[in-house]
Amino acid sequence: MTPKRGPRFKAVLAMLLSVIPAVGQAQTGNIPRGPDGKPDLSGVWQVLNSAAWDLQDHTGALNFPPGQSVVEGGTIPYLPAAAAKQRDNFEHRETDDPAEVTCYLPGVPRVTYMPFPFEIIQTPKVIVFSYEFAHARRHVFTDGSPHPAGFPDFWMGDSRGRWEGDTLVVDVTNLDERTWLDHAGNFHSDALHVVERYTPIDASHLMYEATLEDPKVFSRPWKISMPLYRRIDKNVKILEYECVYYLQDKRYSNAKPVGVPQ
């Protein structure tokens, strides 16, 4: 090959390579893509399961819909002391669940499978996740930036994303230890590290996977997975579920102030 033919050969090769992903797209059901060729995850999504009540197999009860485990292998690999704490949490779930009862921000990954929709707004450098529950929000930076050093813990953690083929991989650290993983009292410590994977299946479905690593609570990393369904309702919009405000009204509407502390 002469040096003169080099650029043309490269151009042909590039063309051939550009054809190959097009075949892949057809196989994955024509998923939406942005100008950069990456899948475009923008839209309103929601789960259809009862993982928010219990990630593992559970029988139905009053205000507790039944469901099968979303945990790979079925059960969460607790260390012995942590298993006892989970059982205690379960006993006190009607008063102690920080999201369902106290209306705190639900953390990651629980916010994903709360029974409320959320909207993904994708731009090249940041992908915003806006959740209806408690107007929670996450910024997933995809500009190659690392987790900031020396930051405190956040209820919703610090999220940094990258693309692996058609999968958005989100690394989440700085997670506050006070959130639970579900209403059954499954929990974690401040050592929790979550890696989420969002993979388009077709135009209206994403597969969501999250690997949880927390050596203070679990004997090994473990994984959950579930589909996310696109809300194709006409004019679908994220509205407001202002849990804290409703709870304040319920608790304090008829209460008398005890005075103003100085």
Interface contacts to another protein, rule CB under 8 A: 35, 42, 92, 95-98, 101-105, 119, 121-123, 126, 128, 130, 135-137, 139, 141, 148, 152, 154-156, 178, 235, 237-240, 242, 244-245, 247-249, 251-253, 255-262
The burial class, CB within 10 Å (0-12 / 13-18 / 19+), for 88 is exposed
Please say whether the beta carbons of 194 and 212 come within 8 A: yes
| In the complex, least distance from residue 12 CB atom to another protein, rounded to whole angstroms | 29
Rank residues 12 and 121 by Cβ distance to another protein and give the closer one: 121
Rank residues 112 and 122 by Cβ distance to another protein and give the closer one: 122
Q: How far apart are CA 194 and CA 253, in angstroms?
A: 39
Please say whether the beta carbons of 112 and 157 come within 8 A: no
Q: How far apart are CA 150 and CA 27, in angstroms?
A: 44
Rank residues 11 and 121 by Cβ distance to another protein and give the closer one: 121
Rank residues 30 and 123 by Cβ distance to another protein and give the closer one: 123
| In the complex, least distance from residue 173 CB atom to another protein, rounded to whole angstroms | 13
Rank residues 106 and 200 by Cβ distance to another protein and give the closer one: 106
Alpha helices in 2-130 (DSSP H): 6-27, 80-91, 93-96
| In the complex, least distance from residue 155 CB atom to another protein, rounded to whole angstroms | 5
Rank residues 75 and 102 by Cβ distance to another protein and give the closer one: 102
Residue 121: strand pairing partners: 128
| In the complex, least distance from residue 172 CB atom to another protein, rounded to whole angstroms | 13
Q: How far is CA 178 from CA 48, 123, 131, 169, 250, in A?
A: 26, 31, 19, 24, 23
Six token digits for residue 125:
């450098």
| In the complex, least distance from residue 42 CB atom to another protein, rounded to whole angstroms | 7
